[in-house]
Structure 1
């Protein structure tokens, strides 16, 4: 094996071990809460020593920050997967994105429990606060870009401030319905929350419903 190949193998192995530690952390937080997710508990879950954890993460707070970032990034990526629609018009892409945020696997009891555990510490933990801010702004930027495409398609130009207001409002709609779906999904008909979300977003953007349109 060449030196370059050995370096690549070592790097990929280290990245995999780091990700395994993050997954073990998420499992511990889901089962034991943040207080129960000690370095010792995480090490036992991952089948490694506490010393190995410290090799990858200087402290527990650094590991929790990485775990929270992974959780939020995963949810966003799951929703963004719905945007891979060849030839779809901007309105359909936005509708698909909203729908993906309000259906499994994004709507998930375990995911909600993890999010709730972390969010309770955001205001007292600078590392988690930073991870939360980055995640929120990344999601908002994604929504802004989708809204800009939709409005351009409608022949409406909007400035940065207007796009940002729309994105904040749409994020609030998605967040509220997502919480309802995670906490009491059994009381809603299949696709009901997604339908409400899509209708609400189109109303916020002042879009006329297309005749025969079933996407919103």
Structure 2
């Protein structure tokens, strides 16, 4: 991927965002082993000293890239739910099945996530963002479940069970050549939802 043009008079927020996005791209292309101040700044088209102006170090930039990636996924999920209309069950299904198509089910996003996951055991800042991103996903899913089935006995446990299925299907679809289609994954998610909720 070609480097972005250098920022000479860009807004500080734009420069910081450029570095966040460059960090995510480098992680996706080179993995955790290939990440460095030099690699991030070369991808962003800026001098290496600029990263330390906006972040405490590479770990901080990675954590922010993870948070930004999680926000992008959240926006795609919210858009899917909004498109589903007002029926509570349709809204849950939209939330679950949005993970089976772009922009969520893509090899690029998977590559970035593999790098993020590989750092969660060794980098507390990245681990904290992982907990934040997954916690947000489950809280939103629990809210959708409560709207559909306010009588549900254990919404948190149901959300965990649904998330586990969605993650596995998303992983296979994102890797490519999955032994099932996105439509079949959606059908499995619907069956699992109905099985868990009675």
**TM-score exceeds 0.5:** yes
1:126 is matched with: 124
* Cα displacement (A) at 1:146: 0.4
In structure 2, do the counterparts of structure 1 residues 109 and 205 end up closer, same or farther at CA, with 3 Å as the change threshold? Answer: same
1:92 is matched with: 90
* Cα displacement (A) at 1:184: 3.3
Measured on the aligned residues, the alpha-carbon RMSD in Å equals 1.8
In structure 2, do the counterparts of structure 1 residues 102 and 87 end up closer, same or farther at CA, with 3 Å as the change threshold? Answer: closer
1:209 is matched with: none
1:177 is matched with: 169
1:144 is matched with: 142
The secondary structure found in structure 1 opposite 2:176 is: helix
1:47 is matched with: 45
* Cα displacement (A) at 1:187: 3.6
The secondary structure found in structure 2 opposite 1:191 is: helix
Is 1:193 the equivalent of 2:193? no
Tell me how far apart the structure 2 counterparts of residues 190 and 177 of structure 1 sit (CA, whole Å). 9
Q: What residue ranges of structure 2 are gaps of 5+ in the alignment?
A: 1-8
* Cα displacement (A) at 1:158: 3.8
Tell me how far apart the structure 1 counterparts of residues 162 and 175 of structure 2 sit (CA, whole Å). 20
Cα contact 1:62–1:127 (8 A) shared by 2: yes
2:4 is matched with: none
With normalisation by structure 2, the TM-score equals 0.89
Structure exhibiting the larger radius of gyration computed from Cα positions:
1
Q: Which one of 55, 58, 67 corresponds to residue 56 of structure 2?
A: 58
Cα contact 2:84–2:91 (8 A) shared by 1: no
Cα contact 2:138–2:160 (8 A) shared by 1: yes
Q: What residue ranges of structure 1 are gaps of 5+ in the alignment?
A: 1-9, 207-216
Tell me how far apart the structure 1 counterparts of residues 85 and 76 of structure 2 sit (CA, whole Å). 20
The secondary structure found in structure 1 opposite 2:105 is: coil
In structure 2, do the counterparts of structure 1 residues 87 and 60 end up closer, same or farther at CA, with 3 Å as the change threshold? Answer: closer
| 1:33-88 Cα shifts (integer Å, max 9, x gaps) | 12212101111111111111111101111001101111222122211211114752
Tell me how far apart the structure 1 counterparts of residues 182 and 125 of structure 2 sit (CA, whole Å). 37
| 1:82-117 Cα shifts (integer Å, max 9, x gaps) | 111475210011111111122222111111111011
Segment of structure 1 superposing worse, 85-94 or 54-63: 85-94
With normalisation by structure 1, the TM-score equals 0.82
In structure 2, do the counterparts of structure 1 residues 75 and 87 end up closer, same or farther at CA, with 3 Å as the change threshold? Answer: closer
1:167 is matched with: 159
Tell me how far apart the structure 1 counterparts of residues 25 and 103 of structure 2 sit (CA, whole Å). 17
Cα contact 1:177–1:197 (8 A) shared by 2: no
